[in-house]
Chain A
Amino acid sequence: MMAASNPLVQWSWVTGNWGDTIRPYLLQHAELAAIAVGIGFVISLPSAVAVWWFRRARGPVFGFAGLLYTIPSIALFGIIEPFTGYFSITTGEVALVSYTLLILIRNIVVGLDAVPEEVREAARAVGYSPLAELVRVDLPLALPSIFAGLRVATVTVVGLVNVTAFIGLGGLGQLILTGFQRSFNTPIVVALVLSIAMAGLGDLVFVVAERAVVRWARVVETT
């Protein structure tokens, strides 16, 4: 223990290690999180629409997404690792993506459920095909809920990526492991602060995107 000479933040370490340690981990972290949310959304959107169109699919789809959501990320790494490989980015991303599915699918379905029936009837009355109605009426009206899901998924995944360091994928979690192994506060505090900041920034990106996209309504309060 180096408790006596172990301030919460030793600035000289931060400045000395910024370029070749902290910054690469920060970028790696952002990349791992962005890929997970991106793939998660690409899978969730059609799944949610299918669940909304075919109500019978609700039980199985939410059950499966709920199961994946329930399995702890570190356990999911361990379960798929024999098949996808140790130190493999696939192992990390499969676990991260599986975590976003429940959040995203649930939010998209809740948003679609809230589309007023009169609006849908009106769309059909003017001759929209089911697909056109979905793309031009239903999904746009569900956007606030979809964005809310993206925000939660992003904040969750950015936090979770810290755990991928255990399977050797880098990211800010690597600083946490280093700090613990050396009983040295600074790397842990740096990772903690940067991780929270990145989650906040990711959240903000979607707030801004929502304001830009949902122009017909003042952005609904997401208290």
Chain B
Amino acid sequence: MSFWSGLWQFFSTGSNWSGQDGIFVRLGNQVELSLTVVAAATLVGMGLGFYLGHTRRGGFVAVNAANSARAVPSIALLTILAIQPFPGLRFGGFLTAGITLGALAIPPILTNSYVGMREVDPDVREAARAMGMGGWQRFWRVEVPLALPLAVAGVRTAAVEVVATSTLAAYVTFNDLGEYIFAGLAQNDTVQTFSGALLVALLAGGTDLVLFGLYRLVTPGALVRSGAVRPEQSRGIVRRFPALARSFESEAA
């Protein structure tokens, strides 16, 4: 059987879609895990990032969080947690995967939220004060809306990484789409590996698109129309450097 006809057969066989080891259940598990982690990480990372950026404290930690976290291989964290007495493989590996993915997701959201809040133009803050806005009003109605695009760009980065890495959770028994990839690799079943990989890639791409939509939604229309918000800036920043800071300043101007 050729590769392509095998592929056709994989996706056209009804039993591959239904049941505990079917595509729908595995997709559902992966979405559930990723959504839980991204929601929790957004709450923590954005809350902390906005707070630190607003009070202008803890900048060194907040800005370097995303970079330092990149160096930690998730697969090491995942496997070592999986073989501990706790969290081990409780809830089918959900807990272990959740902790690993949380450690991956919080840093980029934290860094971007912090920088977004930090880069709110002091003149704008001053103007809001002059208009008679109180502290909370300035924070919620002026600073948060201005910081939100960059913060959401951080959520986008985190969400795509979480979906990608949740695939690896299948290695520690979590029943998601990664199971097809690992089972296929173990059995040298190219069709199964490819099919799983295709589904995972579609899920990651879909996640990216949804978060890009959210990014556009929270970005003031004037910035989009003027071309100040370019596609290459919508993924959040990994490391700050003067050139990028300058491009943000011109955006605010």
Residues of A bordering B, CB below 8 Å? 1, 3, 6, 58-59, 62-63, 66-67, 69-79, 81-82, 86, 102-103, 106, 109-111, 113-114, 142, 144-145, 148, 151-152, 155-156, 158-159, 162-163, 166-167, 172-173, 176-177, 179-180, 183-185, 188-189, 191-192, 195-196, 199-200, 220, 222-223
Contact = CB atoms under 8 A, between A and B. Distances in A.
A160 B230 CA distance: 27
Which of A72, A102, A195, A223 has the largest number of chain B CB atoms within 10 A? A72
B232 A62 contact: yes
A149 to B, nearest CB: 9
Interface in B185-203: 185, 188, 190, 193-194, 196-198, 200-201
Q: Chain A: interface secondary structure?
A: helix
Contacts of A158: 71
A59 B167 contact: no
21 contacts: A3-B85, A58-B230, A58-B231, A66-B235, A72-B164, A74-B200, A75-B201, A78-B181, A78-B200, A81-B194, A102-B235, A106-B232, A110-B232, A114-B243, A144-B242, A163-B168, A166-B182, A180-B172, A189-B80, A222-B239, A223-B60
B231 A188 contact: no
Given A145-B241, A223-B63, A223-B64, A70 B204 contact: yes
Which of B164, B182, B240 has the largest number of chain A CB atoms within 10 A? B164
A106 B160 CA distance: 18
Interface in B209-253: 230-232, 235, 238-244, 246-247
B247 A113 contact: yes
B76 A81 contact: no
Which of B63, B197, B204, B246 has the largest number of chain A CB atoms within 10 A? B197
A183 B83 contact: yes
Contacts of A162: 73, 75-76
B196 A78 contact: yes
A209 to B, nearest CB: 15
Contacts of A167: 185
Interface string B136-151: 0000000000000000
Interface of B: 3, 59-60, 63-64, 67, 70-77, 79-80, 82-85, 160, 163-165, 167-168, 171-172, 178, 181-182, 184-185, 188, 190, 193-194, 196-198, 200-201, 204-205, 208, 230-232, 235, 238-244, 246-247
A66 B164 contact: no
B83 A1 contact: yes
B75 A152 contact: no
5 closest pairs, A vs B, by CB? Answer: A78-B197, A72-B164, A114-B243, A199-B71, A180-B79
